[in-house]
Amino acid sequence: MSGQSQRLNVVPTVTMLGIMKARLVGATRGHALLKKKSDALTVQFRQILKKIVSTKESMGEIMKTSSFSLTEAKYVAGENIKHVVLESVQTASLKVRSRQENVAGVKLPKFEYFTEGETKNDLTGLARGGQQVQQCRAAYVKAIEVLVELASLQTSFLTLDEAIKTTNRRVNALENVVKPRLENTISYIKGELDELEREDFFRLKKIQGYKKREIEKQLAAAKEFVEDKFAEKISLQKGISINAAHNLLSAAREKDEDIIF
């Protein structure tokens, strides 16, 4: 696995180890928070999904009703009503306002419709069929209401979809790339530090052993020197050679340990 062998390119020092540990803590906390955010968004997303399905299906019904009322209006007021309507268009009296709703840091648009100014079509169908025309108008306003709701649901759906994808991507990146990499780096630094410590320990041991040996050597040299001196003294006193004095000394030590003379 490529993620396992990966680590950051750092100098293995105690300071770096501290920094890496802090970063790992940060990454873990970030991961937990993002996971929570993703969950919250998913809950919202499912609610919207359910609402979209039901609203889309009710939309068909409402459009059918409004089409039918238009047909009624046409029948009563005559076919030429559409020309009157098409010609009298000036500025929109029915508009939508959009505002934002904040869900776990994701801004979702919400539309709502409102009427502005007086309706221009008041005089439409004055000659005949005025009531049908007004009914038709009301039916279409109702249709707009449903459509606007559906539009905000749909927009929220798309925005949330995108946001959930991004959040999940981040969660996965933290979990599968950033955290293993930091962990690898930390274990690498720890390994290197241990290695250094062992090396140091070994070096100390070695030096200690060397010192010990030196002291022993010096002690032995001193002892020899003292013995030599003693033999010399004996040889001078008794008039024998130094070798004979050595032999005398060693012979005395070998055989007559308990004889005092």
Binding site for other proteins (CB under 8 A): 46, 49, 52-53, 56-57, 59-60, 63-64, 66-67, 70, 81-82, 85-86, 89-100, 105-107, 109, 111, 113-116, 119-121, 124, 133, 136-137, 139-141, 143-144, 147-148, 150-152, 154-155, 157-159, 161-163, 166
Shortest distance, CB of residue 27 to other proteins, whole angstroms? Answer: 19
Which residue number, 36 or 99, has a Cβ lying nearer to other proteins?
Answer: 99
Question: For other proteins, which is the closer residue by CB, 157 or 188?
Answer: 157
Nearest-approach distance from CB 144 to other proteins, in angstroms:
6
Rank residues 5 and 90 by Cβ distance to other proteins and give the closer one.
90
Token pair for 90: 């000036």
In the complex, the smallest distance separating the C-beta of residue 33 from other proteins, rounded to whole angstroms, is 14
Closer residue to other proteins in complex, CB, 4/115: 115
Q: How far is the CB of 125 from other proteins (least distance, A)?
A: 10
**CA distance linking residue 159 with residue 125, whole number of Å:** 43
Task: Provide the minimum distance between the beta carbon of 133 and other proteins in the complex, in angstroms, as a whole number.
Answer: 7
Query: Cβ closer to other proteins: 41 or 245?
Result: 41
